[in-house]
Structure 1
Amino acid sequence: MKLETILVPYDGSEQAKRALEYAKDLAAIAGGACYVRAVHVMPSDLINEKDLDGSSLEGVPLGLLGREEYQGLLSKVVDRARERVKEGLRDIIDEMGDSLVVDVIADSSA
């Protein structure tokens, strides 16, 4: 069996960081032809105005936003969350380079 991708759920905990270290070692054993994909699931129902870092919804409840506005908001929040996750994983990213992919997904549940 050839390993191509190792999927590691990531929530910022010490256990998740240890799991990434383990996946990194496993990928090295696989000969470097393997990617480690760290996935952080961010519940979309918990998105609020504080996640916008200075942007504003101008008092409009999330449920009343149009589809395009909501997708734009979600995109901004996911991009910011991805940067926070990458910052928390900076040492592992520096070691692994392109063999580590960091994803952030906004969903209603993990």
Structure 2
Amino acid sequence: MLLMVSGQWMLSILRRQLFINTCTFLMMVVVVLQVSAPYSRTALTLVLKILTLILVGNCFEFHMFFNCRNAVLALPILAFTSASEPPCSSIMLPRYVKELISFRLQN
């Protein structure tokens, strides 16, 4: 059950990340095309436009690879830590409460 829920969670994270990265990429394309529109008749602008789009595409793929890899690595760590630690041990009680409990147990 945990693996099924965590698998769905991981897929939703990857879908959301893909959507965000796609929107970022499309915004960069629009910016490059809009900024270079007045100078579109020169050959240098065309070359710069192509190089910029290639660079943005490579950065997009590089960023997506590391986000997917981190999500895949984080899921087993999350599952292991949540399964190995009981919920009550994560609550930190103040020192005087611990001393009061131990005092009552001794009497």
TM-score interval for Structure 1 and Structure 2 normalised by the shorter chain: 0.3 to 0.5
Structure with greater helix percent: 2
Q: TM-score, normalised by structure 1?
A: 0.32
Give 1 or 2 for the bigger CA radius of gyration. Answer: 2
Structure with greater strand percent: 1
Q: TM-score, normalised by structure 2?
A: 0.32
